[in-house]
Amino acid sequence: MGLLDGKVAIVTGAGHGIGRGHALELAKEGAKVLVNDLGTTLQGEGTGRDADLTVDLITARGGEAAANYADVADYAQAGEMIAQAVDTFGRLDIVVNNAGIARDATIWNMTEADWDSVIRVHLRGTFCPTTHAVNHWRELSKAGEDVSGRRIINTTSGAGLVGNFGQANYCTAKAGIAGFTQTVSLEVFKLGITVNCIGPAGATRMAASIPGAGIEAKEPDEFDEWNAMDPSLSSPLVAWLASDKAGHVTGQVIRAVKDEIVLMEGWRNGPTIRKANKRWEPAELTALMNADLFGCRAPGLRY
């Protein structure tokens, strides 16, 4: 008995790396998987049939899978991908938005194309499958079907949550995905659909591209014992979030890195100053901001 017996999942960008790990894990837990991948380079150039590689691995292990080669940031192609899952496997329960690219550069070297393509793949690439899946489930709900238990699982990054030198495009997109998760989770709450966001890690080609990191890219199926760089270490969390056991968890950002699973708690109200129904004067803020907000007497931020 698997945690996901009878479920149908789509995993985007699942030809390689972290997405491949998710697809293998969901299949191991009994889900039928539509493996999406456009087959691009890390920079988002070119196309290929890389989804087939993961489909072959799943079927060789006795699971059920089919390939999809859509560009997930293309609205029409993302809609066709949702339809393919339903046509092929009879239903759709889980969408894991994982596809991504990177084009790192400092803000002064970042080209318009670097910015636009990274924002497009991560943000449109999360929006397009999500809106089509939610509309499909809303139609079912209107026709009287109980759609509770359906799942959206998005992908952020530690870099997007705290910032990272040389990745303004990527970090902006990844922070946006966390915000998208929170809002969409509220919108579909009444339908019993959950929307969460994971922050994975692993020695994929994306991680290997970080200058000086000394990381060699490896696929999840190339690790046969526990290794802190295995790109599939967040996949058990994805399988659990996708299951009926996680119906009470929504709108969350959870990082799964190495052997840790960390609930992220960001952007809470911190130290506050108040002036009873009166407008602040800029000059009076110097002392108050430094002492009461930043906790220091001298000007300057707490870094």
Give 205's DSSP letter. H
* Rounded least distance, CB 10 to ligand NAD, Å: 11
Structure tokens at 92: 């759709």
Spell 140-154 as b/e; 16+ CB within 10 A means b.
Answer: bbeeeeebebbbbbb
In terms of CB distance, is 23 or 147 closer to ligand NAD? 23
170 is catalytic: yes
* Bridge partner residues of 199 (DSSP): 255
User: Is position 206 an interface residue for ligand NAD (rule: CB under 6 A)?
Assistant: yes
User: Is position 25 an interface residue for ligand NAD (rule: CB under 6 A)?
Assistant: no
174 is catalytic: yes
Angle between helices 168-187 and 112-119 (to 10 degrees): 30
Residues 251-290: x where in contact with ligand NAD by CB under 6 A, - otherwise, as a string? ----------------------------------------
From 174, 218, 232, 243, the catalytic residue:
174
Binders of ligand NAD among 139-168, rule CB under 6 A? 155, 157
Cα–Cα separations (whole angstroms), residue 236 to 111, 129, 202:
37, 22, 14
* CB proximity list for 235: less than 8 A, separation 6 or greater: 18, 21, 22, 24, 25, 26, 220
User: Is position 72 an interface residue for ligand NAD (rule: CB under 6 A)?
Assistant: yes
Residue type, 170: Y
User: Is position 204 an interface residue for ligand NAD (rule: CB under 6 A)?
Assistant: yes
Backbone dihedral angles phi then psi of residue 152, each to the nearest 5 degrees: -120, 130
Q: Which of the ranges 14-22, 23-31, 258-266, 276-284 carries the binding residues for ligand NAD, by CB under 6 A?
A: 14-22
In terms of CB distance, is 147 or 237 closer to ligand NAD? 237
Task: Write out the residues near ligand NAD by the rule CB under 6 A.
Answer: 12-13, 15-19, 36-40, 42, 44, 50, 71-73, 98-101, 121, 125, 155, 157, 199-202, 204-207, 231
The catalytic site residues sit at 157, 170, 174
